[in-house]
Structure 1
Amino acid sequence: MVGTASTELLVRHSGVGAARVGFRGDVEGLRAVAVLAVVVFHAGVPGVGGGFAGVDVFFVISGFLITGMLWREVAGSGTIRLARFYGARARRLLPAAGIVLVATAGGAAALLPPLQAREVLGDGIASALYVGNYRLALHGTDYLAADAPPSPFQHYWSLGVEEQFYLLWPALIIGVAWFVRRWRRTESASPTPYLVVLGVVAALSFAVSLDWTRTLPSWAFFALPARAWELAVGGMVALSVPVWRRIPEWAAAVAGWVGLAAIVVSCTQLDGRTPYPGTAALLPVLGAALIVAAGCAAPRLGVGRVLSTVPLRSIGRLSYSWYLWHWPVLLLAPKLSGHPLDLVGSLGAVATAAGLAMLTLWFVEDPARFAAPLRRSAALSLAGGGVVTAVAVCVGMVLLVLVPVPVGRGAAAEALTVVAAPQAPPSESIDPHDAAVQQLTAQVQTAVAASAESPSVPSNLSPSLADAPADKAAVFGNGCVRSWLDVGQPECAAGDIGSANMVALVGDSHAAMWSPAFEQIAEQRHWRLETMSKVTCPLMELPITSPYLGREYTECVQWRHQVLARLQAEHPRLIVLSMSRRYGGDFGFTTYDQAWIDSLSRLTTQLRATGANVLVLGPIPDPHSTVPTCLSGHLDDALACAPTRPVAVNDAGIAAERAATTAGDGQYADLTALFCTADRCPLITGNTLIYRDDNHLTVAYATALAPVVAALADGALAHG
């Protein structure tokens, strides 16, 4: 949470003249606007899709208040009493943050599935140390973690940004003061050097923000370098207060109302598809800056009269604790109630969070903030803050020990073993390759059917639930699978690298997840296997937007053209095409619609024109959950996590894809029988865990199916 500095300001009337303590009620009310925007956005209230911009408003407020406080001290004494400054921040921020951290950690440990709880507790420890924003940035750049459920500590990212700001800002102010004294050899009360430095910081940070919004969205959103300009804007307003006091009253009034309109527009017109922060953040940042600056002139008809009303000031005073409580309450309430929250339920949750915030304000925030012994002693304040942080970290670590690593409690199960039978004599009634596929598939179906009747997670599950998230093919980590911003496709050869028989495995991450099976086959068949893959980028020629990048996915379009040119030049014997079927909405196209089907037919024809045989792998069933996490909470009832076949499989879409592939003179492999019975799609077959997350196979299961996949590839080669 940001904007937590006191709105009690030391207001100077005439440069270095007399000073008095004043109160900016409009700033307190602006905090209310900011927290209401964030809370109603998280509650899912329609029409507030950009409520996340409330955090930007908080950043401006924090930059304004803290910079003004530091500047007045350095102008008056030539330095900053760091212990006093940090002691005040510790009293203001840490007690409430620590209470919510401990309560959220306990709730997560009690209510979340063990695997998710352990991940969340790691988030809690990082948040207690105020580096949670960088943990989130790192997770955001991991494609295979992109669909993980949100953490109840996710909102602590802004607190991390603020604490990092508190560490750097005083050093910056002291450095400028030292430089001014050394250069001018005299004390100077002029804010000009500080304004110049903040202007440079703001410009550099804004440039970083623009670049990272395009290239590293998660870092742009969570990291201080891309957010510092917002704090700097507030700081520049603080350093130019005398200028703002001199503007005409009518101009100040207009500026304030324009600023509020800009914030309202940002909250109602922006949404999750907006590349952010980038240029879009200018709306709430400049809007907040205009309101704060206009309030310096205190116009009678300005927006400050509304913001200073008692209800808004009361909410503003509550904003810090309400922000801390609202998100974990929203996320944990469905676990407590046993069902998802509708809008009414979400509003009830944030109202409950407001009640908790009041209790926190009365019994934690204010007592710690105004306790006379703490106010008199910076050392005692800092020690108290250190104790709060240490307790929060220790609670997280103890709960990590107490929350067990989930291990199956069922009887040990046999491993899935698929054995090729001796080749049957030629028959006019059935193709020998089709017969081999049927015989091998029948073995898998038998194991799947047995698992569909077995409720418990086997004790010898492979990979284990704890290890499953890391059980991904090597191509995901060696550059073969191209990330969002990557273009081109480096050579990624496996099998018999010197062989003239080339097989290309092409597509998005759902092609790459099959690489362990194809690598094994390539070794056996003496093929040179080339894996060509890019995340969330199917090879079909469809207009595509990247939800991660928040813009047209030009890198995907470029990669497609490069891969097609390479396939045309290298003439593989077989091209195996695979892709996720979870595209829709934000991507600019929808799986299985007519554009998808037509594009698949055209692509098959185009690939056949290279002289290659083409095998299109059908989809794997959609488990509709993060499988290891779900199973960790249902060790005795694994079937509770397993979707029914109609939910997991789109039979009509598969039939349409088969017809489109056949029309393009390719071979289509419907894989459903390798995963599902007629009724259900279990998540474990034998002792093998099928999914490593919510949509990718484990290496173990892909490898176990290698004999079936080999037979499908042989059939595709034979039918060319």
Structure 2
Amino acid sequence: MPPSTLDDWLQGPLEQSMEQSAEDAWSTAESVSGRPGLEQQDRPGQADGPGDGASPSTGRSDLTQQTGRSGRPVFRRELHGLRALALMLVAVYHIWLGRVSGGVDVFLFLSAFFLTGTFVRRLDAGRPLAVPRYWLHTFKRLLPPAAVTILATLAATWWLLPSSFWPTIMQQAAASALYVQNALLVLLEVDYRARDAGAASPLQHFWSLSVQGQAFIVWPLLFLLVVPLARSGKRFRRPLLVIFAVIAAASLTWSIISTQTQQPIAYFDTAARMWEFSAGAMLAVMLPRIDHITGARRPEHDQPPALRTGRALLGWAGIAALLACGVLVDVSGQFPGWIAIWPLAAAGAVVVAGHSGRAWGVDRLLSSRPAAFLGDISYALYLVHWPILVLWLSTSGQERAGLLDGLAVLAGSILLAWLLTRAVDAPVRRSRWLEAKPWRALTAVAASVTLVLAASGGWWLTLTASAPERPEVSANPAVATDEVSVETSHVIRPFGWQLGSQWPDLPERCGGPWAPSSPFRHVNCQQLLPADAAASETIVVVGSSHARQFIPALIPYAEERGAQIVNLTMDGCEFLPGTERWPYCDGYDEYALSYIDAVGPATVLTTSTRTSPDSTAEVMPEGTANAVQLLLDRGIDVIAVRDTPRWEADQYECAEQVIDAGGSPADADLACGAEVEQKLAATDPAAPLAGLTGQGPSDAPAADAAQVILVDLTEQVCPDGRCSPVLGDTYVYLDDNHLTRLFVESVLEPALREELGVLN
């Protein structure tokens, strides 16, 4: 075998059959544009190289094709049909059941199976691995149809979806084109501030393509570890198995642990999914030996396979198991842990069963022309079915499709997938011009990514150029801020795409004398003044995001006094020292108290009650009085703010839908609002805190004792006993429980300033 060269690594020879040498779970048999397999067989002048196929008795196999009577490679149509079945499971479960089907796991499994076959064939035949050429070839085929889908989804988003959805979908468009969508979804999931956590995005399904894309980058590099063995004529399959087994063990262990502790994150985590890739790779390496031992044959062989009845039964058992996954048991909350072994074992059974030689074998069904057609358009169908479904549900206002409209969504998806395959996928896939030179494939890849990034980024720049990202507070609003307008002509702010700027961030990272001695998880310490500023006093805000939301109303008061504001809140965790906390909040109270002792603020702001979205169970949390007393005893004034209403549904989204449909704020109030007695207790549960005073030194004047200022802004948030999503020309809420910064600045700031007058 000749030594490897730089050209071998970068490019390698032009493949005689591109489909055979670079398979993945989305490859087609080209039956959309021709009969499966015949195009390759009838190509004049094509030689049968040693890597194109071999009899099971030789110990070699090309894993996706085996040799027929003519010596020509033959496509394994039953695996092509398995793609179709897995995709239909994904679509059906998405459209009607809302459960995990295991179909995506099968695609990951098949991806590794085919990819491993590609490189084992190259090692067997003594051909260079040509890893960069493989990357270009693979992404040249996958990205153009994906880019067309993403661009069409962006256009449909602009046309059909409210503007509050736009920023998330722009982000996901770029992430999808760069194959990091799963990482973005993880960030959205763990980011407490993220509206909707990316749920119901028409591009959310790109997470699995991102996992596959990341694996397509990393997995070929593993074969470099056994190249020296292959070049010296030594056996390399067993070392490959060891490598894959180690990855599988580590990934499965992590997957089980992560699924138990953080399942929403684990679901999108590439590391928690790599064991599924390893399983497909191990089967690919072992299959030639399994086929040899069990007497496997293809339909084109002169002899029938051994164990025909057993193969037929094994194939049907695999299909039955795959169909049952998610139907018999709702396993959605258990993926991708050990439960994913179920669909992978089912798919593995179909692969091992192969050609059964029985007329009633499942391979006959999976090799049929309807299955081949669905297999051909499977990639495009996966791309388009989810955006069509989400856009339909969003515009129709349904949570789940019914029988008839679900069938219409499925039929429309199949038609659109066929068009996408014919117009984009198949021409790019078969283009010998694109494949002839690496720079041409690279241009196709770069053009696909650039178009998506330009469309999403250009759209965002157009929006921000037409209006400021953070709207200014109007001194003379068109409608009084305590009224609900019955007119539809007013511009209501903030616009949906501006919601990202509505979180109450402070401009500076904590520094100088206000820098914490050590960081704490999920605490993003911010401050109002620069680190070198000379502040007259310090105001620290502690507790959850519901304390943080009042910071914009506090800023003018602090600026007048030359005071520093420090945001030390931790989303989801109130300030309740001395109480038993759930693991996420454990240690926060001690951390905040130690920071307060180090900084010595004059005032601390926190919330004094906790509301509930589905009842009037507003309470003063246990430990609140103790927390306030601890601060008072340190000579610190406490601003205890009553909590604001929480809702079962997103108030911005609810009101936006009404107003975008031509309704008025009054119509939005009827559709989304509620009476104050439905959201809050009749009286402030924190009223007993008013009697607390600081102990302080015994000789200190009573007038200098620290005090509690109870702040109840209910009348401003819910004027005249009605909690509305829009007051004046301003949206009150940015989600289901947080106030918009614009509302806090324009409506709550004057009221809070008046309440704090006693501190002057």
Q: Structure 1-normalised TM-score? A: 0.73
Return the offset for 1:257.
Answer: 5.7
Return the offset for 1:319.
Answer: 1.9
After TM superposition, the structure 1 stretch with the greater mean CA deviation from structure 2, 632-641 or 675-684, is 632-641
Residue 503 of structure 2 is aligned to residue 472 of structure 1: yes
1:510 maps to what in 2? 546
Q: How does 1:359-378 map to 2 (within 5 A)?
A: 359-369=419-429, 371=430, 374-375=431-432, 378=435
2:443 maps to what in 1? 386
Residue 607 of structure 2 is aligned to residue 577 of structure 1: yes
Amino acid at match of 1:555: Y
Note closer, same or farther for the CA distance 1:170–1:399 as it changes in structure 2 (3 Å cut): closer
1:36 maps to what in 2? 88
Q: How does 1:289-688 map to 2 (within 5 A)?
A: 289-295=348-354, 304=363, 307-308=366-367, 311-334=370-393, 342-344=401-403, 345-369=405-429, 371=430, 374-375=431-432, 378-379=435-436, 383=440, 386-387=443-444, 390=447, 393-394=450-451, 397-398=454-455, 401=458, 404-405=462-463, 415-416=474-475, 446-449=480-483, 455-457=489-491, 467-474=498-505, 505-518=541-554, 521=557, 533-537=569-573, 554-556=583-585, 559=588, 576-577=606-607, 581=611, 592-593=616-617, 597=619, 600=620, 602-604=622-624, 607=627, 615-620=640-645, 625=650, 627=652, 639=664, 643-644=668-669, 647-649=672-674, 651-656=676-681, 658=683, 660-662=685-687, 669=712, 671-674=714-717, 676=719, 681=724, 683=726, 685=728
Residue 758 of structure 2 is aligned to residue 709 of structure 1: no
1:4 maps to what in 2? 26
Note closer, same or farther for the CA distance 1:646–1:136 as it changes in structure 2 (3 Å cut): closer
Residue 234 of structure 2 is aligned to residue 203 of structure 1: no
> CA offsets, 1:246-270, max 9 Å, x none?
3595876776566545544542367
Return the offset for 1:505.
Answer: 4.7
Return the offset for 1:58.
Answer: 0.5
Note closer, same or farther for the CA distance 1:575–1:255 as it changes in structure 2 (3 Å cut): farther
Note closer, same or farther for the CA distance 1:270–1:636 as it changes in structure 2 (3 Å cut): closer
Note closer, same or farther for the CA distance 1:359–1:701 as it changes in structure 2 (3 Å cut): closer
The structure 1 residue matched to 2:145, chosen from 89, 96, 99, is: 96
Amino acid at match of 2:607: L
Note closer, same or farther for the CA distance 1:665–1:97 as it changes in structure 2 (3 Å cut): same
| Residues 202, 390 of structure 2: 8 Å contact kept | yes
The CA distance in 2 between the partners of 1:363 and 1:308, in whole Å, is 25
The CA distance in 2 between the partners of 1:708 and 1:334, in whole Å, is 41
After TM superposition, the structure 1 stretch with the greater mean CA deviation from structure 2, 471-480 or 643-652, is 471-480
2:12 maps to what in 1? none
The CA distance in 2 between the partners of 1:563 and 1:254, in whole Å, is 64
Structure 1 unpaired stretches of 5+: 418-442, 545-551, 584-589
Note closer, same or farther for the CA distance 1:5–1:656 as it changes in structure 2 (3 Å cut): same
After TM superposition, the structure 1 stretch with the greater mean CA deviation from structure 2, 628-637 or 284-293, is 628-637
Note closer, same or farther for the CA distance 1:79–1:499 as it changes in structure 2 (3 Å cut): closer
Amino acid at match of 2:25: G
Return the offset for 1:240.
Answer: 0.3
The CA distance in 2 between the partners of 1:163 and 1:366, in whole Å, is 20
Structure having greater relative contact order (Cα 8 Å, sep ≥ 6): 1
1:130 maps to what in 2? 179
| Residues 476, 512 of structure 1: 8 Å contact kept | no
Amino acid at match of 2:376: R
Residue 120 of structure 2 is aligned to residue 55 of structure 1: no
Question: What secondary structure, in the 3-state scheme, does the structure 2 residue paired with 1:576 have?
Answer: strand
2:234 maps to what in 1? 188
Note closer, same or farther for the CA distance 1:26–1:635 as it changes in structure 2 (3 Å cut): closer
1:234 maps to what in 2? 280
| Residues 160, 395 of structure 2: 8 Å contact kept | yes
CA-atom RMSD in angstroms: 5.3
Percent identical: 24
Question: What secondary structure, in the 3-state scheme, does the structure 2 residue paired with 1:143 have?
Answer: coil
Note closer, same or farther for the CA distance 1:470–1:502 as it changes in structure 2 (3 Å cut): closer
After TM superposition, the structure 1 stretch with the greater mean CA deviation from structure 2, 110-119 or 324-333, is 110-119
| Residues 2, 58 of structure 1: 8 Å contact kept | no
Amino acid at match of 2:738: H
1:144 maps to what in 2? 193
1:67 maps to what in 2? 116
Amino acid at match of 1:186: S
The structure 2 residue matched to 1:76, chosen from 104, 125, 128, is: 125
The CA distance in 1 between the partners of 2:597 and 2:457, in whole Å, is 53
After TM superposition, the structure 1 stretch with the greater mean CA deviation from structure 2, 622-631 or 356-365, is 622-631
Note closer, same or farther for the CA distance 1:82–1:470 as it changes in structure 2 (3 Å cut): same
| Residues 577, 615 of structure 1: 8 Å contact kept | yes
The CA distance in 2 between the partners of 1:165 and 1:25, in whole Å, is 25
The CA distance in 1 between the partners of 2:523 and 2:449, in whole Å, is 46
Amino acid at match of 2:84: A
Structure 2 unpaired stretches of 5+: 1-22, 30-36, 38-51, 68-72, 295-305, 633-637, 692-709
1:153 maps to what in 2? 203
| Residues 651, 725 of structure 2: 8 Å contact kept | no
Return the offset for 1:415.
Answer: 2.8
Return the offset for 1:606.
Answer: 5.2
> CA offsets, 1:82-101, max 9 Å, x none?
57645653565344334323
1:438 maps to what in 2? none
Return the offset for 1:13.
Answer: 0.8
